[in-house]
Structure formats: structure tokens, C-alpha cells
Structure 1
Amino acid sequence: MKSNYKKCLVSVCPNALLPSKKILAFTLAEVLITLGIIGIVAAMTIPTLMSKIQEKRYTTQYKKIFSELNQTMKMLENDESSPITMCKSFDDTCFRDQFATKMKISHSCNGAPPNKCLATSTFLNNQVRYYKMNVNDGWPSLVTLSGYSVKFRYHRADCNFVEDAETAWAGTLRNCGWVQVDTNGLNAPNIVGKDIFFLAFMQDGFIPYYETDNKINDCYKGTGISCASIRINNGGMHFSDP
């Protein structure tokens, strides 16, 4: 009995205290299933997350441009060199050049894109025309050292030109002209409502373009014109929303 007891202590009992490797291990099938689930979740969430991050960048840059253009207009007014007083009716080049005197620019361009200032662009949902206006019409433009582009269209100083269909972009609000800004210049996506926005030029500065009827619907499913107002007022939107 004594001999058997010692044998149990040495060879049998220690083995009974060791944990089973079988309990802690995962099978290859379990590992593959887990990795597959992780991959599916990542594929579903990462693109949406990246889209929202990029959208936030566009909105932030757009607000910065909106502020800079209005500040530039104030400087021109203080110097008595506002386009309202300096430019003849429909002199788009004068409109561009007056702003260029107060902005840090790398290039000035004339003619339709693509050029050094603007890439070929579209409205939202692959539309290229809004009323009588093509997003790629060749009005004078410039690109700034910080990377954003601006295209200029001037009407006249009294802000009362009603024959031009472009005034419909501001609903019943008549304007002196407009600018088309691309928040990241030549870089993609070059789509109105995403990185391109339109601002109405008034006698004392700029306001966002908008559609008077169903603004939100236009920004989701239309041309993207109304996004200029929604981004300023609401701080952004999600293009995947219904």
C-alpha cells in the first residue's frame, strides 16, 4: 500500500492537476468563422465612417471659404474697389480680378475646365445641367494657395437681373452674380453638393444658394444646389440618408 501511494503521488496526481489543452483551444473552423464575421462588419462600417469623415472635411472647408470670401468683400469695400462699383455689367473677368487682388492665388484661368483651376465636374446624381447652366461653363476662375478654386459670374450692380435663369437658384431673391467654389480644387469628387457649392453674390457679400421648395430633397436626390444652404445652416448632411 505504501508503495502504491508513492506511485500515485508522482505519476498520476500531478497530471490530474494540469489544465486540459482541449478546453482552451479554438478549432480552425471557429477561427475562420470569427475572422469572417469581423471582415463583414468592417466592410459594412468602415466605408460609411470614412464617408462621414470626408463629408465633415468638405463642410469645414466650405465654411472657411464662405467666411474668407465675405471677409475679402469687406476689404474691397473698405478700399472702395468692390466689383459693385468697379465692374461693368456682365464683366466676369473684372469680378474675378477684383477679388484676386485680395486673395493669395496660384493660378487664374479662363475658359471651360479642365484647366489649372478646375476639373470637369457634375451636379449631384450625375446631372450636368441646372436650368440653363452647365457646371462646366467657362467663366473666369482662380485657384488659391490653400487649394480651393472659385469660378466667377457677374450680373450687374443693382442685383436686379431677372431674365437670367441663374437667379432661380436663389429662389425669389435677386442677386448681383454668383461664385462656384470647389473646396479641394482639382481633387475628386468634383460634385455639386459634395465638394462644390454655389454662393449668391449680393451688394454686401455672399449668401448660400438654395431651392425655395423642398431644399432637403434637392440636396439628397436633385442637383445638389440646396446643399450650399444646408451645409452652412445645419453643419452637414449624410448623402446616404433617404
Structure 2
Amino acid sequence: MRGQAARLAFTLAEVLVTLGIIGIIAALTMPALITKYQKKQTVAQLKVVYSILNQAVELSVAENGEMQYWDLDLLSGFSRDFEEKYLLPYIKGISKSNNSEKVWKKLDGEYDNWASYEPSRVQYTLPNGCLMSFYRLYMLSSTNPANFDKTNLAILVDLNGYKGPNRAGRDLFVFTIFPLAKDAQGKVMAGYIDQCGSGAKHYKLTRDDLTTKGCATCNSDYTGFGYGCAALIQKDGWEIKDDYPW
């Protein structure tokens, strides 16, 4: 009996050690697995929104003609006439949100004040819980004709609505319509414009430029506004790479 008890005790000790090892391995691997899942989920949601927006533009072009012939003067000022005429009617199930909360954190987690630029901004909700709002940049009054094709409607997207982290590159992304850009006709483009670097449209930048330059790109050093992160994900084949500022 004593020998049997000893063997049983030894077996129990082995089980406890094994469980301890499993616990340690789980503690080490679970964060990585969770992050991997979150990245894949983010990309999947981003692709859905991108598809919804492009389908809406295609329908609008079919009914209203090519983008360059739309009434671009509607982009001036703070009115919502442009998106209400050319975009919202073609997004199935979209509705105006009753929540006026304006939250946008930069890549480093600091608050960005872009939301304060247009006090009349309205937020819209999709059936999948995604939140959208719109900003307008009217450049047709510029003294430099080279700036005309920067006239745009920027679409700010929060993939999971008002849930956290409300942070650029994580659940907050930007897509843009450039009605006068020849290489963006009839499309919604990922990203925006590099506001303090080259001033180039994000979809035209190289991957290196998107990750290392400017203040509105998708810098891998976690600085800046992160408006170009959707463009980086798209450029990487709809994947979040290891050097992405996550």
C-alpha cells in the first residue's frame, strides 16, 4: 500500500507540474494569439466597409454620372449636401446616429482634434455597428490649379462604433473620395492626404513613405495621426504586418 501511495503521490505531483507548465505556456502565447485574432478581425471589418463604400460610389456614378461632373461646390462650407446627394442614398441600412460623441486618438493614444474642425459633423451608423462621419476639403478656389484634384470627401470610419479603443490604426481609419483625381475616378481610396509631409495622397505613396515619413501617414514609431493606415494595410495585401503600429 505504501508503494502504491507513493506512486500515486508522484503521479499527482507530475500532473501539477504539467499543469503549471501548461499555464506558463498559455500565459506566454495567449497575448500573441489574441493580437493575431484582433488584427485579422480588423482587416476583415475594414474590407467590408471598403466594399460597402465602393459599391455606393458605383451606384451613385450609375445614377449621377462620372464623379468629375458632380456638383463639387457642395463640398464647400460645412453643409452635408454632398454626401446626402451622392453617397448616403446608396448605402443600404445607414442611419443617423443620436450620439454626438467625437473621439479620435492618434497612433500614440493622444487625442486628436480633427473632430473639432467641423462642428456640424454628423455621425452615421451601419447595420454592422460601424460608425461613419464625413469631412470636406474644397480646393477649387485655390490659386494653384495643381491643388484642384485634392478636393475631396474624407470618410472617417470607426469599425466597432463607440466601443474602444477609438484609436487610429486600430479601429479608426480614413477613406477618401477624390472626384477630380484621374487615377481615383469612380473609386473610394484608402487613406487621406499627408498633411505635414509631402502633401501627397496616401494611395500614391510608397510603403516606406507611409511607415516612416509625414505626420498623417501610418508611422511605425507610433507618432502622428494615422490617417494613412488603411492605405498601408491595403498596400500590404490586406494584411497587418509585423512593423505596423499596432
Please give the TM-score of this superposition, normalised by the length of structure 1: 0.70
Partner of 1:134: 114
Task: Answer yes or no: is the 8 Å Cα contact 2:136–2:152 preserved in 1.
Answer: yes
Q: Which residue of 2 aligns with 1:151?
A: 133
Post-superposition Cα deviations, 1:58-113, rounded to whole Å, max 9, x if no partner, equal 1111112112211111111111176962452325411331322111245325xxxx
AA aligned to 2:223 is G
Match of 2:99 among 107, 111, 116: 116
Query: For 1:89, which of 69, 75, 96 is the aligned residue?
Result: 75
Q: Which residue of the partner structure matches residue 227 of structure 2?
A: 225
The one-character-per-residue Cα deviations of 1:5-47 (angstroms, maximum 9, x if unpaired) are xxxxxxxxxx9xxx96645653655444333322222112112
Q: CA deviation at 1:209?
A: 1.6
1:191 Cα deviation from its structure 2 partner? 1.0
**Aligned pairs (5 A) from 1:42-61:** 42-61=26-45
State whether structure 2 residue 176 is matched by structure 1 residue 200.
yes
Structure 2 alignment gaps of length 5 or more:
180-184, 195-204, 213-217
Change in CA separation of 1:228 and 1:119 when aligned onto 2, cut-off 3 Å: same
Distance 1:68 1:85 in 2: 20
**Correspondence for 2:240 among 231, 237, 242:** 237
With over 3 angstroms needed to count, the CA separation of the structure-2 counterparts of 1:84 and 1:142, relative to structure 1, is farther
2:137–2:152: 8 Å Cα contact kept in structure 1? yes
Identify the match of residue 74 of structure 1 among 58, 61, 65: 58
CA distance in 2, matches of 1:84, 1:44: 57
CA distance change for structure 1 residues 60 and 192 in 2, over 3 Å: closer, same or farther? same
Q: Residues 100 and 194 of structure 1: is their aligned pair in 2 closer, same or farther, counting only changes over 3 Å?
A: same
For 2:240, the aligned partner's letter is M
1:215 to 210, 215, 227: 210
User: Any idea what the Cα deviations from partners look like across 1:102-135, whole Å, max 9, x if unmatched?
Assistant: 11245325xxxxx537662312211323xxx525
Alignment partner of 2:90: what SS? Answer: coil
Indicate how the Cα distance of structure 1 residues 136 and 193 shifts in structure 2: closer, same or farther if over 3 A, else same: farther
**56-65 vs 81-90, greater mean Cα deviation:** 81-90
How far did 1:181 drift?
0.9
Aligned residue for 1:102? 90
> Per the alignment, in what secondary structure is the counterpart of residue 154 of structure 1?
strand
Separation in 2, partners of 1:95, 1:200: 13
Taking the aligned partners of 1:145 and 1:123, their CA distance within structure 2 comes to 26
Residue 40 (str. 1) matches residue 24 (str. 2) = yes
Q: Distance in 2 between matches of 1:156 and 1:70?
A: 21
State whether residues 75 and 82 of structure 2, in contact with CA within 8 Å, keep that contact through their aligned partners in structure 1.
no
Scaled by the length of structure 2, what TM-score is found?
0.69
Which has the larger Rg? Answer: 1
Preserved CA contact (<8 Å) 1:152 1:179: yes
**Which residue identity is paired with 2:167?**
I
Structure 1 residues 161 and 47: alpha-carbon distance in aligned structure 2, compared to 1, 3 A threshold = farther
2:164 equivalent in structure 1: 188
Long gaps (5+) in structure 1: 1-14, 110-114, 168-172
Cα distance in 2 between the residues matched to 1:197 and 1:155: 17
What letter corresponds to residue 228 of structure 2 in structure 1? S
Maintained 8 Å contact 1:92/1:152: no
How far is 1:53 from its partner? Answer: 0.7
